[in-house]
Homo-oligomer: A and B are copies of this chain.
Amino acid sequence: MKSTFSLLFGGISFEHEISIISAITIKNILKENIRHFIFLDSSHRFYLIPHELMKADFFAQKGYEKCKQLHLCQNGFQTTGIFKTSITPECIINLIHGADGEDGSLAAMLDFYHIPFIGPRMEACILSFNKAYTKALCKERDIAILDYEVITPNKKPSLPLPLILKPARLGSSIGINIIKDQKDLNYGLDCAFEYDDCVLAEPFISGIKEYNLAGFKANGEYYFSTIEEPQKTEILDFDKKYLDFSRDSKAVEANLAEDLKTTMQDYFKKIYEGTFEGALIRCDFFIHQDKVYLNEINPIPGSLAHYLFQDFYKCLNLLANSLPKKRKIYIDYTYINKIKKAK
């Protein structure tokens, strides 16, 4: 069954602008298969954006404020005001990176209002949004990870330098610093704590190889993307990531031994299974001394990592037709009726 999609983007997040770039990129790929562009502004208001206005500058100029405002209702959205129009998306694509989108808020709301969507469910969000929980999840599921330490404001890292410090709940390299010298440690901690009360310290391994693998599960089967070795400096910075998300060429398959590829795919399945159903995710791996380590899970990767897939629309279609269903709960007031009878 061929689906049409409605893109949800923006959000109160440090990655608000990345989300706009993602949406514009996906617009150029899915073209007429997109029915609605739904923008969430910096005050948590939803707007319906006409196709022809989907340009970065339009948002920076706050042009959206003149668009139709929407509010959530069962099965979709409704315009506000006296004469209401209903919007019933066939399938939303949650493209809100960072807070709101990846922290579980919108997953909760879309589920609550019974709106079908591609994206991580609430539980998957919580476990991947906080890097400390991702580490714990990997340990539970026997997935190799680099050593790490959870740092709180009154605790210094005990791992030896060089270190990499990351706020636990932020993507896109924001607040991340590499500490090679003891004298830079306090600065690095200050940077990270500016964004989160919880910071992760990891050993920094110079020249470590990084690989990205995206994928999803549909109809009981796993679909994997090309494995790419992203171009990078020591940290892929904010600007570089922007450009990366908006690119339109296909990725080149990394030159990797078969067993390492298989390990990455196995780790991907272990992390995805039972948790990320409904989402197209990207896992970022390290290879160090011929061993694979899971680095991070991107439950809503920039522009959904479309450039890693040969037929991206087909992938979204498979996923849209295989979204997880919630169990029905029937409420019949058995207990209250029973005590009433007993009286």
How many whole Å from A88's CB to the nearest CB in chain B?
16
Q: Is there an interface contact between B104 and A12, defined as CB atoms closer than 8 Å?
A: no
If A109-B112, A122-B126, A126-B122 touch, does A331 touch B42 (CB 8 Å cutoff)?
Answer: yes
Q: Which residue of B lies closest to A78 (CB)?
A: B71
User: Which one, A52-60, A200-208, A302-310, A313-321, is touching chain B?
Assistant: A52-60
Q: Which residue of B lies closest to A73 (CB)?
A: B71
Q: Which residue of B lies closest to A327 (CB)?
A: B195
Q: Is there an interface contact between B122 and A122, defined as CB atoms closer than 8 Å?
A: yes
Q: How many copies does the complex hold?
A: 2
If A17-B333, A274-B197, A333-B17 touch, does A112 touch B44 (CB 8 Å cutoff)?
Answer: yes
Residues of B within 8 A of A59 (CB): 333, 336
Q: Decide yes or no whether A183 CB sits under 8 A from chain B.
A: no
Q: Decide yes or no whether A154 CB sits under 8 A from chain B.
A: no
Q: Is there an interface contact between B14 and A329, defined as CB atoms closer than 8 Å?
A: yes
A143–B126 CA distance with the chains assembled, in angstroms: 21
Residues of B within 8 A of A29 (CB): none
A77–B242 CA distance with the chains assembled, in angstroms: 38
Q: Is there an interface contact between B122 and A57, defined as CB atoms closer than 8 Å?
A: no
Q: Is there an interface contact between B57 and A336, defined as CB atoms closer than 8 Å?
A: yes
How many whole Å from A124's CB to the nearest CB in chain B?
10
Produce 1/0 per residue, A64-108, CB < 8 A to B: 000000011110000000100000000000000001100111011
Q: Decide yes or no whether A140 CB sits under 8 A from chain B.
A: yes
Offer 22 A-B interface pairs, CB within 8 angstroms, sorted by A: A14-B329, A16-B329, A17-B331, A20-B336, A42-B331, A44-B112, A56-B336, A56-B339, A57-B340, A59-B336, A60-B333, A60-B337, A99-B329, A100-B112, A104-B108, A105-B109, A105-B112, A107-B108, A109-B109, A197-B274, A239-B335, A242-B339
Rank and list the top 8 A-B pairs by shortest CB-CB distance, nearest first. A108-B108, A60-B333, A126-B126, A42-B331, A60-B336, A105-B108, A56-B336, A17-B335
